């Protein structure tokens, strides 16, 4: 039952917002009593925290699978981007904005966990690119991986990139290409250009 509550809460939180959804809403959507929810979660804040870190765990597991099956770091980053976007495609509100505003302590802990996961993944990706001659050999791995994380976080800030003006996929696609063009060698740039052209052709058909 606990996992079902987490799953339904995630669906409601991501479609209606953390602030708007009440424990009564979750209970009614599941056809259970609110008492049943409180048997597993002491309050809504605890439920929000569990749901938030459950989502992070799922995304982290997906990234690990992509890393393990990676052909090269350029396609790897695009695969991660598509995985995250598809996982969050049902999101109707900005979870980052709502967490930061209404649950700042959870938001801060989430940022730390996200950074730990993404920093490690990006560092490995950069090193692979350098070893295969796709990325410049002189890049500062520690600096670039932190810069990339900061950028990925920043483009999700709706106060800077309002959803009415910027499509989510466009933001991630544009930032990823911006990032890669700054660090690729000529070999890497040729691969990037071929890959993006191939993707455009596939999407057109």
State the 10-residue block means of pLDDT for the chain, 205 residues long. 96 91 97 96 97 94 92 92 84 81 94 90 93 96 94 88 88 93 96 80 47
On whether residue 13 sits in a domain, the answer given is no
On whether residue 24 sits in a domain, the answer given is no
Going by C-alpha positions, the residue among 83, 40, 90 that lies closest to residue 64 is 83
For position 189, which CATH number holds? 1.10.357.10
What pLDDT, on the 0 to 100 scale, is given for residue 204? 45
Helices 186-204 and 168-183: angle between axes, nearest 10 degrees: 160
On whether residue 5 sits in a domain, the answer given is no
Going by C-alpha positions, the residue among 127, 190, 178 that lies closest to residue 151 is 178
Which residue matches tokens 């003006």? 165
On whether residue 74 sits in a domain, the answer given is yes
On whether residue 122 sits in a domain, the answer given is yes
What's the token pair of residue 153?
Answer: 């976080």
Which residue matches tokens 């079902």? 4
What pLDDT, on the 0 to 100 scale, is given for residue 96? 81
| The total number of structural domains that make up the chain | 1
What pLDDT, on the 0 to 100 scale, is given for residue 201? 47
Rg (CA), the chain: 19
> Which residue segment(s) compose the domain that 185 sits in?
44-196
On whether residue 87 sits in a domain, the answer given is yes
What pLDDT, on the 0 to 100 scale, is given for residue 22? 96
Give exposure, 161-199, as e/b (b: 16+ Cβ within 10 Å). beeeeeebeebbbebbeebbeebbbeebeebbeeebeee
Helices 168-183 and 141-154: angle between axes, nearest 10 degrees: 160
On whether residue 26 sits in a domain, the answer given is no
What pLDDT, on the 0 to 100 scale, is given for residue 199? 67
What's the token pair of residue 17?
Answer: 């917002």
On whether residue 58 sits in a domain, the answer given is yes
What pLDDT, on the 0 to 100 scale, is given for residue 200? 56
What's the token pair of residue 21?
Answer: 């959804």
What pLDDT, on the 0 to 100 scale, is given for residue 145? 94
pTM: 0.84
């Amino acid at each position: 039952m606990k996992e079902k509550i987490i799953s339904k809460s995630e669906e409601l939180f991501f479609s209606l917002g953390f602030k708007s959804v009440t424990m009564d809403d979750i209970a009614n959507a599941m056809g259970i009593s609110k008492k049943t929810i409180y048997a597993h979660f002491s309050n809504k804040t605890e439920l929000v925290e569990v749901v938030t870190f459950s989502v992070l765990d799922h995304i982290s597991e997906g990234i690990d699978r992509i890393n393990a099956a990676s052909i090269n770091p350029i396609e790897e980053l695009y695969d991660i981007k598509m995985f995250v976007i598809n996982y969050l495609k049902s999101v109707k509100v900005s979870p980052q904005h709502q967490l930061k505003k209404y649950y700042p302590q959870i938001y801060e802990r989430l940022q730390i966990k996200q950074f730990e996961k993404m920093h490690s993944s990006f560092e490995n990706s950069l090193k692979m690119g350098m070893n295969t001659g796709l990325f410049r050999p002189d890049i500062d791995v520690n600096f670039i991986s932190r810069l990339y994380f900061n950028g990925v976080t920043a483009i999700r800030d709706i106060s800077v990139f309002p959803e009415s003006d910027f499509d989510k996929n466009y933001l991630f696609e544009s930032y990823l290409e911006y990032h890669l063009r700054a660090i690729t060698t000529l070999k890497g740039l040729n691969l990037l250009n071929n890959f993006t052209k191939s993707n455009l052709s596939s999407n057109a058909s």
